Amino acid sequence: MQDIIDEIASQMLSRADKGKVATYIPQLARVNLEQFAISVATPDGQVVSAGCADTLFSIQSVSKVFTLTLALGKLGENLWHRVGREPSGDPFNSIVQLEHEQGKPRNPFINAGAIAIADAIMQGQAKETLAEILQFVRFLANDNTIAIDERVARSELETGDRNASLAHFMASFGHFHNPVDAVLGIYFHHCSIAMNTQQLATAGLFLANQGINPHTGYAVVSPRRAKRINALMMTCGHYDGSGEFAFRVGLPGKSGVGGGILAIAPGKASIAVWSPGLDPIGNSKLGTEALERLTHKTGWSVFAG
Amino acid sequence: MQDIIDEIASQMLSRADKGKVATYIPQLARVNLEQFAISVATPDGQVVSAGCADTLFSIQSVSKVFTLTLALGKLGENLWHRVGREPSGDPFNSIVQLEHEQGKPRNPFINAGAIAIADAIMQGQAKETLAEILQFVRFLANDNTIAIDERVARSELETGDRNASLAHFMASFGHFHNPVDAVLGIYFHHCSIAMNTQQLATAGLFLANQGINPHTGYAVVSPRRAKRINALMMTCGHYDGSGEFAFRVGLPGKSGVGGGILAIAPGKASIAVWSPGLDPIGNSKLGTEALERLTHKTGWSVFAG
Amino acid sequence: MQDIIDEIASQMLSRADKGKVATYIPQLARVNLEQFAISVATPDGQVVSAGCADTLFSIQSVSKVFTLTLALGKLGENLWHRVGREPSGDPFNSIVQLEHEQGKPRNPFINAGAIAIADAIMQGQAKETLAEILQFVRFLANDNTIAIDERVARSELETGDRNASLAHFMASFGHFHNPVDAVLGIYFHHCSIAMNTQQLATAGLFLANQGINPHTGYAVVSPRRAKRINALMMTCGHYDGSGEFAFRVGLPGKSGVGGGILAIAPGKASIAVWSPGLDPIGNSKLGTEALERLTHKTGWSVFAG
Amino acid sequence: MQDIIDEIASQMLSRADKGKVATYIPQLARVNLEQFAISVATPDGQVVSAGCADTLFSIQSVSKVFTLTLALGKLGENLWHRVGREPSGDPFNSIVQLEHEQGKPRNPFINAGAIAIADAIMQGQAKETLAEILQFVRFLANDNTIAIDERVARSELETGDRNASLAHFMASFGHFHNPVDAVLGIYFHHCSIAMNTQQLATAGLFLANQGINPHTGYAVVSPRRAKRINALMMTCGHYDGSGEFAFRVGLPGKSGVGGGILAIAPGKASIAVWSPGLDPIGNSKLGTEALERLTHKTGWSVFAG
């Protein structure tokens, strides 16, 4: 495995076209494009890495996997009254579907869906809810040093009109239980959690291991729920690039605009990659390519025999 | 396995709510709702069945898996200039996406995509193209008795205005190489192929076995292509119910309005179910439920560890 | 008046940017761009003209005013069960609205609406219906020489996939009483009627004169109906350029892709202009400009005091 | 005239089905349905009324006519870079069109367009801008008692998620020059101006009189601009009911969800009606009917000869 990912990391670093960093969040626009990291965590407790696997980056929408898991823990299957489970076929920040479907987001991984989930999780003060989310991610990664990058959160807040629009739109249908601004605060902050690929791969391991985190021995979710979260990551985890990711990589995965991707090979591994350059849809360009090579070499695609 | 599927078949037959048969094609509206069949074909060459696994039914859109395979053989990856690889988020017969995206269908499994593929396959006369498709399905199922139900084909042709609209719409962008009526003739006829679950499970086996049909020993497609077709079935095989099918069943699958579903457990089995009652989206109600139980009992979901 | 329109005609002929002829119908693509004509018919029976007011051109969608009038005569207000009375906000050949509104076109002047009206008019054979439409236009223009340009009709038929798509789409909802191909034949043929501006201005005169054609003395429609047809021309007569036309010209008008426009100044005049070059939306570029100047000089805008 | 409107008022008051008051703004939901008023202001300075023409009501979206006029005065034709001039074919609060057209509203009379205009007008503090708008309306009505109903404004603010969504959506494209909350404050407040039909009819008189208010003698706008504002009211003044209003009434008009309508008969009169019950699209049910009768009796429709 070490050999495979070393080779992939060196190939990725030598690539001329690395995509473009996200520019709409000023803090993300400053990130150096010439960075690549990959970590592979396996159920036996091992984590192997290549590239700058200690460098922190903004996990952004990858955090939606964790808030979905938390929300399912709190609300159970009732959560599906708030969000659907279907790919939307639209960009991550589209509002058209919301108007046609009375303010109910298609799935938990588009922005509208994740904002609805932030509202569903929230109890009491925004600060406490945020602390709970952070605590949950630390628990999953078995690492108490994980923190929110406040500069990124502030940067998002200042440029977050599109997400504010989505939130107010849903609220106009009477779907929100909490003040829109508080919910947005939670959303922007959990997107601003900073992690490295080692931490991220570890945090996702429960999804590859029937719901159990082998580092702590805790059952995070039931095997059935792990399976279902993986299914959602497969069909909806890359917005209107989900079909392409399934076609090329063949693993459930969730991307973030910070350039990170968490991919799950059920029973085999949890993989985190990071390369800040994005493709036109907003998914990590080299991250996707690295995963494509990895599943090609390992035969880990869920679609192979 | 025989025990498992016997139990499932008996449970399904005792269910009160069996969904509704498709009514827009008169010939399909006449089918008796009280029928259920399931066949499981495994790479070792075995086929086990329960229910009326000898009864022929109209495979309808399940045939799109076979025409996609045939088209990829003819055009290779160039086929993707004609159709996309993303879930559309819209119903099977929607035209909205076509207008927004200049007549290029989102994927090969919505009606527009399959019609575009019929045009891509067609060479020379419609009759010859149709003979070639039928021959290919017989080759996959290793059964030369498979035939087209002409009454169903005629019934579709007479009520096929929506598909004619989709075809003319694409043709208006200059995307068609053949006359619209000829292409529609091919499409309506390949949807009218009649098979039973044993034949259908066998025909899909190459997708569960790295591209090789173990009954004949022929490599139908490369392992990579088999993987990719499975990926498309997972993200797009059930129209705007694809996310739900992945969530509940966890296998690549393709449904047809005749009540059949072909599902693939890579490396493990090709499964055909048939129950003519449909859910509101147009997928077999009990067929889906039977597959959900099967993957629950066997652990075959691709998303489990 | 003669002075005013002479000046306008000479200004228009000297303009460098005359727009572009429609290219999607081959016969229209051949028309010489350097032609301009204007005719003003008044309730006193006079017709004054400037430019090539004897040259025949394809009236195309201007014919929709006449088929709407004929259909209202046959079906009365029941016609509004078939088509709406609202601007669509979409291009002339859009199909999106039809899917969202169960196959009912927004208004009689978009293509889908006019095709629905052709179906509503049709009784018995297509040929007879077509003869009836032609006879009606001759009656309105008080000129029996008016004819259909068969080469244009054939040209449209051969390139009419988009309109065929609209027609089949509506038929798929069960809205059609006649075979789709026959209805399309009627539609393509009435769009291919050839007229000159003198004939066209005369044919529209009943709309400026409380429903009465002063040349024949016949009451074509009631004053109320004339008023209502004018209202529809104002809000829907120029597709998604209707607001712009009202803003600039201030008269009810109907454009055709052949470069003709019929505009009505109620109580004052019926005006026909022709200039084959189109703006990006598909309306005559200089035709619109000529009408803007005319209403500016005459004060005929319905919106002025 | 007095006889005509007396008869109309008495007919309206006796009607059983008066529509429904708007419920989404709590303050408007409390209004008594059993009220009707009409005032007709003519260029000679007369104002005749029937019904409760002294009762104040919330003018709501009728105020958009006045903010548009003010914005044109400040920005001239440059305003059209911010908003379009076409009917949208969508409901008053639709966001779909905004996504398809990069955040530029179709016209100044849908909510998004009026919010964009509030931003265009705003200079310095919100309070000052608001004072300027109010001053302008007082100037038009020649009445310094006109005021904003603060309870309505607060009520709107508290339930204004949909408008907040529209505003943030436009702001996300970088189209706004001022803080979203300040702009929304202006918008909600100018919608909350309270007037009676006498004041409203007088305020609109400049549009019927070539831009000049005969009560004060001031030229509010040029004749050309008056004409153009009328054109916009005709094609866009009643949202997706604009075609219907033109068809039935035949006058430029602007409705408000408070049940008021301002209609202009160019050269003849400015008419204000008020009846708080709305039709399903959100326009005053009896207000529209009263105007229909009025134009029928007076022949004032701009579409009649």
Supply the pLDDT for residue C24: 77
Residue A53 sits at the chain D interface (C-beta within 8 Å): no
Task: Please tell me the distance in Å from D161's CA to the nearest CA on chain A.
Answer: 5
Q: Does the pLDDT value for residue A81 go beyond 80? A: yes
Q: Where in chain C is the domain with CATH 3.40.710.10?
A: 2-61+193-297, 78-191
The whole-angstrom distance between D143's CA and the closest CA on chain A is 36
Do residue A223 and residue B304 have CB atoms under 8 angstroms apart?
Answer: yes
What chain C residue is nearest to B91 in terms of C-alpha separation? C99
CB contact under 8 A, B96 and C94: no
Contacts of C171 in chain B (CB under 8 A): 161
| Distance separating alpha carbons of residues D35 and A152, to the nearest angstrom | 55
Mind telling me how many Å the CA of B3 is from chain C's nearest CA?
Answer: 45
Find, among A183, A192, A87, A187, the residue nearest to A146 by Cα.
A192
D12 shares contact with chain A (CB less than 8 Å)? no
Give the pLDDT of residue A158.
81
Considering only CB atoms, B168 lies closest to which of C96, C100, C161, namely C161
| Contacts (Cβ under 8 Å, ≥6 apart) of D52 | D35, D36, D37, D196
Domain A63-191 has CATH 3.40.710.10: yes
Residue C44 is predicted with a pLDDT of 96
Task: Count CA atoms closer than 13 A to C268's CA, side-chain side.
Answer: 17
pLDDT per 10-residue tile (average), chain C, 305 residues: 96 93 84 95 97 97 98 96 92 86 94 97 94 98 97 89 96 94 97 98 98 95 97 96 97 97 98 96 96 97 90
B139 touches chain C (CB under 8 A): no
Chain B interface includes A87 (CB < 8 A): yes
CA distance to partner chain B, nearest, from residue A35 (Å): 29
D235 vs C85, C210, C242: nearest CB: C242
User: From the list A96, A161, A164, which residue is nearest D99 (CB)?
Assistant: A96
Overall fold of domain A2-61+193-298:
Beta-lactamase (3.40.710)
Contacts of A209 in chain B (CB under 8 A): 305
Contact D210 C305 (CB under 8 A): yes
Chain C residues whose beta carbon lies within 8 Å of the beta carbon of residue B95: 95-96, 98-99, 165, 169
Cβ–Cβ contact C298 with D under 8 A: no
Nearest CA in chain C to D266: C305
Contact yes or no for C165 and B166 at CB 8 A: yes
Q: Which residues of C touch D247 (CB under 8 A)?
A: 85, 228, 231-232, 235
Which whole-number Å values give the CA distances from A80 to A86, A105, A233, A236, in the listed order?
11, 10, 15, 15
Which amino acids of A are annotated catalytic?
61, 64, 187, 239, 257
**B2-61+194-298 CATH:** 3.40.710.10
Residue type, D144: N
Express each pLDDT in A149-166 by its tens digit: 999 999 888 889 999 999
Residue A24 confidence (pLDDT) above 80: no
Cα distance from C174 to chain B (closest Cα, Å)?
9
Return the pLDDT at C166.
96
Tell me if residue C24 is catalytic. no
Is the CB of A169 less than 8 angstroms away from the CB of D162? Answer: yes
Active site residue D218: no
Q: Which helix (H) or strand (E) holds B90?
A: none
Predicted confidence at residue D305, as pLDDT, reads: 67
The answer to whether residue D162 neighbours chain A at the CB level (below 8 Å) is yes
A302 and chain B in contact, CB less than 8 A: yes
CB proximity D168 to A under 8 Å: yes
Residue tagged 């068609």 (tokens): B176
Closest chain C residue by Cα to residue B164: C168
pLDDT at C236: 97
Sequence-ordered strand ranges (E) for chain D: 37-41, 47-51, 57-58, 147-148, 193-195, 253-255, 260-265, 269-274
Collapsed DSSP state (helix, strand, coil) of residue A156: helix
Distances (CA, A) of C275 to A181, C56, C286, D126: 56, 12, 6, 49
Stretches in chain B below the pLDDT threshold 70: 305
Of A210, A267, A301, the CB nearest to B227: A301
User: Which range is least confidently modeled, A55-59, A120-124, D59-63?
Assistant: A120-124
Nearest CA in chain D to A93: D99
Residue D145 CB contacts under 8 Å (≥ 6 apart), including other chains: D138
Q: Is B178 on the interface with A (CB under 8 A)?
A: no
User: Distance (Å) from the C-alpha of residue C29 to the closest C-alpha of chain B?
Assistant: 17
Identify the pLDDT of residue D91.
83
Is pLDDT at A61 greater than 80 in this prediction? yes
Size of interface B-C (CB pairs under 8 A): 54
Region for C124 from its dihedrals, namely left if φ exceeds 0, alpha if ψ lies in -120 to 50, beta otherwise: left
Every domain range in chain B assigned CATH 3.40.710.10:
2-61+194-298, 63-191
Question: Which pLDDT score, from 0 to 100, does residue D158 have?
Answer: 81
The predicted structure's pLDDT at residue C305: 67
Select from B235, B248, B247 the least CA-distant residue to B294.
B248
Find chains touching chain A: ≥3 CB pairs under 8 Å.
B, D
CB pairs under 8 A between C and D: 131
- Distance to chain C for D209, nearest Cα, Å: 6
Taking contacts as CB-CB distances below 8 angstroms, the residues of chain A near B210 are: 304-305
Cβ–Cβ gap A303/B252 under 8 Å? yes
Listed in sequence order, the residues at least 6 apart from A243 whose beta carbon sits closer than 8 Å to its beta carbon are A87, B84, B85, B86, B87, B107, B231, B232, B235, B236
What residue ranges of chain A are covered by domains with CATH 3.40.710.10? Answer: 2-61+193-298, 63-191
| pLDDT score of A227 | 97
Residue C93: the pLDDT is 82
CB atoms B246 and A227 under 8 Å: no
Q: Give the start-end residues of each E strand in A257-305.
A: 260-265, 269-274
d(CA A150, CA C150): 72
**Which of chain D's residues have a Cβ under 8 Å away from the Cβ of C88?**
89
Q: How far is D232 from chain A (nearest CA, A)?
A: 26
**Sequence-separated (6 or more) residues with CB below 8 Å from residue A43:** A205, A208, A209, A214, A267, A268, A269, B305
User: Strands, DSSP E only, in chain C?
Assistant: 37-41, 47-51, 57-58, 147-148, 193-195, 253-255, 260-265, 269-274
8-state DSSP, B286: H
Q: List every span in chain D annotated with CATH 3.40.710.10.
A: 2-58+195-298, 62-191
Residues C8 and C21: their CA atoms lie apart, in Å, by: 21
Under 8 Å between Cβ of B197 and B274: yes
pLDDT score at A78: 96
Report the sign of the C-alpha dihedral through residues C67, C73, C74, C78, in that order.
positive
Given a cut of 70, is residue A205 above it in pLDDT? yes
- pLDDT of residue D28 exceeding 90: no
Q: B-chain residues within 8 Å CB-CB of C89?
A: none
Q: Residue B93 has what pLDDT?
A: 82
Q: Which of C21, C39, C63, C64 is catalytic?
A: C64
**Beta carbons of D171 and A180 less than 8 Å apart:** no
Q: Give yes or no for a contact between D197 and D225, defined as CB atoms under 8 angstroms apart.
A: no
C95's tokens:
């199909």
A304–B247 CB contact, under 8 Å? no
A291 in contact with chain D, both atoms CB, cutoff 8 A: no
CB distance from A101 to chain D under 8 Å? no
Establish if B99 touches chain C: CB-CB under 8 angstroms. Answer: yes
pLDDT digits (tens, 9 = 90+) for A114-125: 999 999 999 889
Topology (CATH) of D62-191: Beta-lactamase (3.40.710)
pLDDT-derived band at D124 (thresholds 50, 70, 90) equals confident
C2-61+193-297 — its CATH code? Answer: 3.40.710.10
pLDDT in tens, A171-194: 999 989 999 999 999 999 999 999
Distances from the Cα of C187 to the Cαs of B299, C65, C122, C157, D232, in angstroms? Answer: 59, 13, 10, 10, 32
Class of domain D2-58+195-298 (CATH, top level): alpha beta
d(CA B94, CA D182): 42
The answer to whether domain C78-191 has CATH 3.40.710.10 is yes
Could you tell me whether strands C37-41 and C269-274 are parallel, antiparallel, or unpaired per DSSP bridges? antiparallel
Name chain C contacts of B166, Cβ cutoff 8 Å: 165
